[in-house]
Amino acid sequence: NAGVTQTPKFRILKIGQSMTLQCAQDMNHNYMYWYRQDPGMGLKLIYYSVGAGITDKGEVPNGYNVSRSTTEDFPLRLELAAPSQTSVYFCASSNDRSGGNTIYFGEGSWLTVV
Amino acid sequence: AQKVTQAQTEISVVEKEDVTLDCVYETRDTTYYLFWYKQPPSGELVFLIRRNSFDEQNEISGRYSWNFQKSTSSFNFTITASQVVDSAVYFCALIKNYGGSQGNLIFGKGTKLSVKP
């Protein structure tokens, strides 16, 4: 069971560089999410998607972009990386947006912007 | 507004002690779900439990138990006979259960539990 797979696990970026965090799920879930976790804090929602071709902003979307061309993949794009984007990023998926079913998380991607 | 408060930032216990992690939530919704997640030092998030707002029965799973009290808006988590492997950060989270929730889990800041041998 692969579940939710994120790559890369670790990355160091220079200020102003761009990169894409990849996320794939093999559970045929319609709903996918990107969260960030800052040190000593809980997770905050960046973007979410309710299905292929549909995305929307979460609580902290500035500096990020997403796309959802397939049910399986939900990449997160960082444009012009800034030190404030140093964080741990978690991708998640579920088959029910109401919370009635478990939300499955990936293992996280540690990003440092220097 | 919705909010989850975990007032205990860090807790340190000795192995075999019982420990309770507190979670207090705020919501105006009558229907919602509460979660507990474990984040071990390796960093991944491990799902522990989900509880809906209409089910106030306490739950026990091995050494873990959860006490949900709507009257005090609390969803506390107790580990009985703690073990070193329980050392982790534990997060309580809340989600609305209606069409507009979009899966937005509201997380507390977490409680770091250290279990010493």
H or E stretch at B66: strand B64-69
pLDDT of amino acid A100: 56
Using the beta-carbon criterion (under 8 Å), do A107 and B43 form an inter-chain contact? yes
The DSSP call for residue B41 is: T
Torsional sign, CA B102, B45, B76, B65: positive
What the block records as the tokens of B5 is 């408060």
Probe site for chain A from B104, B106, B111 (most A CB atoms < 10 A): B104
Tokens 């205990």 label which residue?
B8
B interface toward A at CB cutoff 8 Å? 4, 32-33, 35, 37, 43-45, 47, 50, 52, 91, 93, 95-99, 101-110
Mean pLDDT for all residues in chain B: 90
Compare CB distances from B103 to A31, A41, A42 and report the shortest one's residue: A31
Helix, strand, or coil here: B85? helix
Tens of pLDDT along B88-110? Answer: 999 999 986 554 555 678 899 99
Confidence of residue B54 (pLDDT cuts 50, 70, 90): confident
Name the residue of chain B whose CA is nearest to A32's CA.
B103
* Residue B8: Cβ-neighbour burial (10 angstroms; 0-12, 13-18, 19+): middle
